[in-house]
Amino acid sequence: MLTTHPFDDDKLREECGVFAIYGTPDAAAHTALGLHALQHRGQEAAGIVAFDGTQFNAHRALGHVGETFAQPDVIGRLNGHAAIGHTRYATTGDTLLRNVQPLFADLAIGGFAIAHNGNLTNNQALRRRLVERGSLFQSTTDTEVVVHLIATALATAVVDRLIDALRQINGAYSFVGLMDDGIVGVRDPNGVRPLVLGRLGDAYVMASETCALDILGADFIRDVEPGEMVIVTRDGLTSRHPFPKASRRFCIFEHIYFARPDSIVEGTSVYDARKRIGAELAREAGVDADVIIPVPDSGVPAALGYANEAGIPFELGIIRNHYVGRTFIEPTDQIRHLGVKLKHNANRAHIEGKRVVLVDDSIVRGTTSTKIVEMVRAAGATEVHMRIASPPTTHSCFYGVDTPRREKLLASQMDIEAMTKFIGADSLAFVTIDGMYRAMGKPEGRNSRDPGFCDACFTGDYPIPLIDFTDGTSDDRVSVLAE
Ligand code: AMP
């Protein structure tokens, strides 16, 4: 039975950015810059905890990284040679500040701060058990479960306690942690969420994406491996593999939408992957047209790939106002509708009298596509064809991407014909699953026995048990979710 859904209550939606640095006198300032580069991963709140050799210094606030950490007095208070930071995605919860990360705990064996990107799928079950045993929770974030598991573990070293805690959790995660002797970073055994390792002079850096290394001029060393724990102390870097080996299931939606196009994720340029998906789309679902227009900004690389492959001119026929946040994160439907209008405007000279192909990365609820098609028609397009650089989003994500409940996903309710009507386009096509995989360097398409990616939002194939969301009988997990 579906007992609860991650987005029903004030539980957090944890697609976020994390950053850690060890071995530089201005650790907090570096962290603020790193978080600024990861701002696209979460605009609701940001926090930094630094360690100066004696004490942990923390600042957390709602709002953008720049609003909080560009203030010299704030950074000035965050002394330390090591720091971690977090930028958090939006939520509709009303108890916001207490959920802002990194979380900090004064453990019997010393202080520990932790920041999380991802979502735990047995959070409720563990939380119930901990509460029964006397744990007092202060936030609703699932990250706090990890803190309590660490606090009650028996090992003496923090990293051993962290390993003990992680062995009890299910879910998708990249964690960074700060101890009094160093930093730690760890990815879940399937490697669903990203985490990279870099070097800045003598300092080591870990971050959700390489764009956070670039902003500092840090060198990229490598991705933290799925299931790997990297520990940095004054003695240097050590790597541990505390979990049984699992199949690699990196989140394909990072490539489709979430990551910044200038990031290199798991060895693949996000920008190039999006262009290749656009080219696949042109091959699979080409249509006679005069102009290819991206839905900015996330549709731009795919539209370029489409236009190059189709040999049709590319124009910025829709202009985006950059001073408005991502539409999708607005908390109510009413504001979301308003947000779309605030965000985009038609560039009429490149639309009027033309047959237009619009390219966007995804359709979730269908709000954006509907508004954009209407806008392009109002600007005088003679035909409007919508092309989507991902397969239909038919399933909710339980691993950290903020997708709504299944019944709100347009593609879970309608077939292509009905969706075309709904968004008001002359035609609508999505790249196929195999086309997407070909663009990701798998010429055979999706190998269902070993896809190499988590693509549950497109296939319903959930690689990590969804303990909190089913009655535990994993066999009917997907069908339960599909109801
Ligand atoms: P919708 O308007 O609900 O169909 O959402 C689709 C639009 O939101 C597309 O233009 C995407 O670029 C964007 N989008 C897709 N997934 C997400 C997400 N998880 N968070 C924020 N925006 C998203």
- CATH number of 416's domain: 3.40.50.2020
Residue 260 lies in a domain: no
CA angle 88, 90, 94 (to 5 degrees): 110
| Separation of CA 388 and ligand 1 centre (Å) | 12
- Cα(89)–Cα(117) distance, integer angstroms: 10
Judgement on whether residues 152 and 279 belong to the same structural domain of the protein: no
Across the range 423-436, mean pLDDT stands at 98
Judgement on whether residues 87 and 220 belong to the same structural domain of the protein: yes
Across the range 225-243, mean pLDDT stands at 98
Q: Poorest-confidence range of 59-68, 426-435, 445-454, 473-482?
A: 473-482
- The count of C-alpha atoms lying within 13 angstroms of the C-alpha of 129, restricted to the half-sphere facing its C-beta, is 13
CA angle 65, 96, 35 (to 5 degrees): 20
Q: Which residues line ligand 1 (CB under 6 A)?
A: 257, 295, 298, 326, 328-329, 360-369, 401-403
Place of tokens 């049709």: 312
Last residue of a domain, one of 246, 262, 293: 246
Residue 62: pLDDT over 70:
yes
Asked whether the whole model's pTM tops 0.85, one would answer yes
Residue 1 lies in a domain: no
Last residue of a domain, one of 211, 246, 281: 246
Residue 219 lies in a domain: yes
- Confirm whether residue 211 is marked as ligand binding: no
Residue 313 lies in a domain: yes
Residue 92: pLDDT over 50:
no
Which of ligand 1's atoms lies nearest the C-alpha of 363? 4
Residue 134: pLDDT over 80:
yes
Judgement on whether residues 306 and 239 belong to the same structural domain of the protein: no
Judgement on whether residues 136 and 72 belong to the same structural domain of the protein: yes
| Separation of CA 372 and ligand 1 centre (Å) | 13
pLDDT (0 to 100) of residue 475: 34
- Confirm whether residue 297 is marked as ligand binding: no
Q: Poorest-confidence range of 17-26, 68-77, 193-202?
A: 68-77
Last residue of a domain, one of 203, 228, 246: 246
| Separation of CA 25 and ligand 1 centre (Å) | 39
331 band by pLDDT with thresholds 50, 70 and 90: low
Judgement on whether residues 221 and 298 belong to the same structural domain of the protein: no
Which of 119, 257, 403 has the most ligand 1 atoms within 8 A of CB, as the residue to mutate? 257
Judgement on whether residues 167 and 205 belong to the same structural domain of the protein: yes
Contact assessment for residue 115 and residue 186, using Cβ atoms and an 8 Å cutoff: no
Judgement on whether residues 227 and 314 belong to the same structural domain of the protein: no
CATH of the domain at 173: 3.60.20.10
Adjacent-strand bridge partners of 9: none
Identity of residue 321? N
The DSSP secondary-structure symbol of 26 reads: B
| Separation of CA 370 and ligand 1 centre (Å) | 12
Which residue's CA is minimally distant from atom 23 of ligand 1? 328
Task: Decide the pairing of beta strands 383-388 and 355-360.
Answer: parallel
Judgement on whether residues 189 and 83 belong to the same structural domain of the protein: yes
Which residue range(s) make up the domain with 115?
Answer: 16-246
Q: Which helix (H) or strand (E) holds 317?
A: none
Contact assessment for residue 430 and residue 421, using Cβ atoms and an 8 Å cutoff: no
Across the range 275-295, mean pLDDT stands at 98
Residue 304 lies in a domain: yes
Judgement on whether residues 174 and 298 belong to the same structural domain of the protein: no
Q: Which two tokens stand for residue 238?
A: 């050590």
Judgement on whether residues 232 and 381 belong to the same structural domain of the protein: no
Q: How many domains does the chain have?
A: 2
pLDDT (0 to 100) of residue 402: 75
- Cα(111)–Cα(51) distance, integer angstroms: 9
Residue 329 lies in a domain: yes
Sign of the dihedral through C-alpha 153, 159, 160, 165: positive
- Cα(20)–Cα(51) distance, integer angstroms: 12
Judgement on whether residues 240 and 344 belong to the same structural domain of the protein: no
DSSP string covering 2-30, please? ----TTTSS------EEEEEES-TBHHHH
Across the range 368-391, mean pLDDT stands at 97
Residue 472 lies in a domain: no
Give the residue numbers annotated as catalytic, written as ranges: 16
Residue 11 lies in a domain: no
Judgement on whether residues 196 and 231 belong to the same structural domain of the protein: yes
